[in-house]
Structure 1
Amino acid sequence: MKHHLYILTGASRGMGLAMAEQLLQAGHALLCISRNANPALESAAQKAAVPLTQWTHDLADGTGAAARLSDWLAGQNPDDLASVSLINNAGVIPPILPVSQSQPADLAWALRVGLEAPMALCTAFLGATRSWTLPRKVLNISSGLGRYPMASQAGYCAAKAGMDHFTRCMALDEALQEHGARVCSLAPGVIDTDMQVQMRGAAGEAFPDQAKFLQLKANGQLSSAPQAAAQVLAFLARPDFGEQAVADVRG
Structure 2
Amino acid sequence: MTLRDITILTGASRGMGLAMARQLLSPSRHLLCISRGTHEALAAEAQRLNAPLTQWAQDLNDTTGAAQRLQAWLANLDANALRSATLINNAGMIPRIGPLDACPPEELSAALRVGLEAPMQLTAAFLRATGAWVATGWQGPRKVLNISSGLGRHALAAQAPYCAAKAGMDHFTRCCALDEAQRPHGARLVSLAPGVIDTDMQVHLRAGDPAEFPDLQRFVELQRQGQLTPPDTAATRVLAWLDRPDFGAQPVADVRD
Q: When the two structures are superposed, what TM-score results if normalisation uses the length of structure 2?
A: 0.96
Counting only pairs closer than 5 Å after superposition, residues 186-225 of structure 1 correspond to structure 2 as 186-225=192-231
Cα distance between partner residues in 1 of 2:216 and 2:152: 18
1:136 alignment partner AA: R
Question: In 2, distance between residues paired with 1:153 and 1:224?
Answer: 23
4+ aligned runs moved over 6 Å, structure 1: none
Query: Is 1:230–2:236 an aligned residue pair?
Result: yes
What pairs with 1:1-251 in structure 2 (closer than 5 Å)?
1-25=2-26, 27-130=28-131, 131-132=133-134, 133-251=139-257
Question: Shift of residue 95 of structure 1?
Answer: 0.3
Deviation at 1:26, TM superposition (A): 7.5
Give 5+ residue unaligned stretches, structure 2: none
Contact 2:26 2:50 in 1 (8 A): no
CA distance in structure 2 between the partners assigned to 1:26 and 1:153 by the alignment: 41
**Shift in Å at residue 100 of structure 1?**
2.3
RMSD between superposed Cα atoms in Å: 0.9
Q: Does the 8 Å contact 1:78/1:134 carry over to 2?
A: no
TM-fit CA distance, 1:107 = 1.1
Count of aligned pairs between the two proteins: 251
User: 1:27 touches 1:49 (CA, 8 Å); kept in 2?
Assistant: no
Q: CA deviation at 1:104?
A: 2.0
CA offsets 1:67-118 (integer angstroms, 9 cap, x no match): 0000000000111111110000000000001112122221111000000000
8 Å CA contact retained: 1:27, 1:48: no
Please state how far the C-alpha of 1:25 moved relative to its aligned partner.
4.8
- Runs of 5+ in structure 1 lacking a partner? none
Is the partner of 2:246 in helix, strand or coil?
A: coil
- Assess if the C-alpha contact under 8 Å between 2:149 and 2:193 holds in 1: yes
Q: Given residue 238 of structure 1, which amino acid in structure 2 is its aligned partner?
A: R
What percent identity do the matched residue pairs reach? 61
Between the aligned partners of 1:35 and 1:102, the Cα distance in structure 2 is: 22
Q: For residue 44 of structure 1, report the CA deviation from its aligned partner.
A: 1.4
State the Cα distance separating 1:244 from its structure 2 match.
0.5
Q: Which amino acid aligns with 1:40?
A: A
- What TM-score, normalized by structure 1, do the two folds share? 0.98
